[in-house]
Amino acid sequence: MPFNHEKQVTFYPSYGYQRAGDWHIPLRIWVREPADFPLRLASKFIRRLLRNKAGLDALTPVQKDRFKQRAEAFIADRESREQVRFCFADDAEQTVFSLYDAQGRSTTDFNGLLEGTLVLTAAKAAQLLATQANDSAWLKLNAVSAKHYGSGYIRLIPPTGASVISDIDDTIKVTGFVEGADVVLRRTFFEDFIAAPGMAERYRALPAETSFHYVSGGPWQLYPVLAEFLFGPAAGFPLGSVHMKNVRTNLLEAASYEDIWKLLVGGSGQATMAQKHTQITTLLQHFPQRRFTLIGDSGEHDPEIFRGIRAAFPQQIAEIMIRDVAGDAGTERLDGMTVMRVPSATLNR
């Protein structure tokens, strides 16, 4: 259990790819402290706003607890100018690493974020893989700098093989974009998360060496509760790298609230289409010899995004699969794609 003065470090799950023998690992690190009393007090006002937007007359104690858990990352006290040092678990040498961004800075920005690429030599990577406690290619990171705690995982992915790039909302988690903004808000902040029926079983049935990458238009601040649901016993999806959308981090600032509101009620929109396209393109460029299956849904813009990706990288795309939540099966929109039909009773859960 961390002491009150310690700061939580989130290492978002990522991957490593090889270049000239070395392993390059894109990392995103976030440092925060729990919200202080004024922020917690103000969050009650935001809770009322979201409750009203979601069409709820009042909240039960359970719904209040869910909101508190899911909004925690939005109202957390983000920590700037923090340098996070970390080690790999099971590293006999206990080598300490720091991350540097593209400008050579090693400290978090005003949002508590630090993004950069960690480079491991082939020899170091081989040593870590040989001494870790399991036989997968996942490596565990632990924060070791003073007053920091937290851990994360990265997977070293070989240059060839099969990969899955999957959307999240309405593809593997029932969100309800086709049902309207009030439903999206309720399911995001106040209701239990629901796994899309049969999807986890479909993913787990793929060969063990398949790599997974989850790309979502949802805000990064939902990652902690989303990952606990998706990769835990509740849903049971295979662990993979996660790629989400940047929004302003403080839910209590007016501009942040507008970011989140527009994101949730507007679906993907042009900005999120561009975000997903960029993130998927980057993955394909990092693994030019791997074959990718793209899996999404018809509720937003996944078919259009995936069609553009396939046109740009025809040799790398093995298949496009679409979970049809909008009743588009048989239309031109889904031509050339494998359609997964969704029973109407499931859509309204």
**DSSP letter string over 31-81?**
EEE---HHHHHHHHHHHHHHHHHTT-S---HHHHHHHHHHHHHHHSEE--S
Q: Which CATH architecture has domain 7-34+78-156?
A: Sandwich (2.60)
User: How does pLDDT run across 268-293, given as a tens digit for each residue?
Assistant: 455 678 899 999 999 999 999 999 99
Same fold: 7-34+78-156 with 162-347? no
Q: Check if the beta carbon of residue 58 is closer than 8 Å to that of residue 111.
A: no
Residue 324 is predicted with a pLDDT of 96
Distance in angstroms (rounded) separating the CA atoms of residues 202 and 197: 10
Query: Where do the domains of the chain lie?
Result: 7-34+78-156, 162-347
Residue 210 is predicted with a pLDDT of 97
Residue 349 is predicted with a pLDDT of 45
In tens digits, the chain (349 residues) has pLDDT values of 444 568 999 999 999 999 999 999 999 999 998 776 556 666 787 788 788 888 999 999 999 999 988 888 877 778 899 999 999 998 989 999 999 999 999 999 988 899 999 999 999 999 998 887 666 789 999 999 999 999 999 999 999 999 999 999 999 999 988 888 889 889 999 999 999 999 999 999 999 999 999 999 888 888 999 999 999 999 999 999 999 987 655 555 555 555 555 655 554 455 678 899 999 999 999 999 999 999 999 998 999 999 999 999 999 999 999 999 999 999 999 999 999 988 654 544 4
Residue 347 is predicted with a pLDDT of 47
Report the helix count and the strand count for the chain, using DSSP H and E: 10, 16
Q: Check if the beta carbon of residue 210 is closer than 8 Å to that of residue 161.
A: yes
Strands 241-245, 291-297: pairing kind: unpaired
Q: Check if the beta carbon of residue 207 is closer than 8 Å to that of residue 179.
A: no
Distance in angstroms (rounded) separating the CA atoms of residues 225 and 192: 11
Give every CB contact of residue 258 below 8 A, 6+ residues apart in sequence: none
What residues pair up with 18 in beta bridges, in sequence order? 23
- Superfamily of domain 162-347, CATH level 4: HAD superfamily/HAD-like (3.40.50.1000)
Distance in angstroms (rounded) separating the CA atoms of residues 239 and 172: 13
Nearest to 153 by CA among 227, 72, 203, 217: 227
Residue 3 is predicted with a pLDDT of 46
Residue 260 is predicted with a pLDDT of 59
pTM confidence score: 0.91
Radius of gyration of the chain (CA): 20
Residue 131 is predicted with a pLDDT of 84
Q: φ and ψ at 153, to 5 degrees?
A: -135, 145
Nearest to 251 by CA among 45, 108, 5: 45
